[in-house]
Amino acid sequence: MTKYKLTYFDFDGGRGEPIRIAFHAAGIEFEDNRLSFAEFGEMRQSTRFSALPVLEIDGAEVTQSNAISRYVGKLAGLYPTDDLQALYCDEAMGVAEDVMHRVVPTFSLKDEELRQAREKLAGGWIPIYLRGLDALLTRGGGQYFAANRLTVADLKILVLTRWLSSGGLDHIPADIVQRVAPGLVGHEEHIGADPRVVAYYASRS
């Protein structure tokens, strides 16, 4: 039996969360290795790209969150088999990564520098990405991003929009998704109510 070990930070969200949900949806046992930021700091140089998540498959490490999401998504039946729909799935996941690449560097900033950087994102790149995602959702039929069913793209965008709407990002308005891309609010509610997603979070409580 294949042994899986997923190493990511000890919180519900971020790049590791869609992978955790997909594993759970597939009924595949995996070691959910959760690290504090301090623990990651101590072992960061031992990771291939100084980043998480890392998935170990029978002890062999692989990296890159979207690649891992695709792999686990295929195991879980949460990745399209049609090439065009797979492209649509990948496109949406890529946009989520673009947002992360813009926001995460601001975590090292403080005070006025942080405020200016976040307000610039809230008035610029984040609305661009959200409107684009809203358009991709419309292309997919309004409920899913690809294949007219739940895929890892939906999981990744669910985690992203919950994060942006959480109020936990200083200087990013908690209503930014609602104001800029209301279709994504409906998507968040729809995907969040999927029994597989509900079951995952119930297992965490």
What is the topology classification, in CATH, of domain 83-194? Glutathione S-transferase Yfyf (Class Pi); Chain A, domain 2 (1.20.1050)
Which three-class secondary structure state does DSSP give residue 84?
Answer: helix
Residue 30 binned pLDDT confidence (cut-offs 50, 70, 90): very high
How many other C-beta atoms can be found within 10 angstroms of the C-beta atom of residue 89?
28
How many other C-beta atoms can be found within 10 angstroms of the C-beta atom of residue 149?
13
Alpha helices in the chain (DSSP H): 17-26, 37-43, 65-76, 83-103, 111-123, 125-139, 152-164, 176-180, 182-192, 195-204
Please state, in angstroms and rounded to a whole number, the distance separating the CA atoms of residues 69 and 78.
9
- Domain extents in the chain: 4-77+200-204, 83-194
pTM of the model as a whole: 0.96
Domain 4-77+200-204 classification at class level: alpha beta
Which three-class secondary structure state does DSSP give residue 167?
Answer: coil
Q: What is the pLDDT of residues 37-88, one digit of tens each?
A: 999 999 999 999 999 999 999 999 999 999 999 999 999 999 999 999 999 9
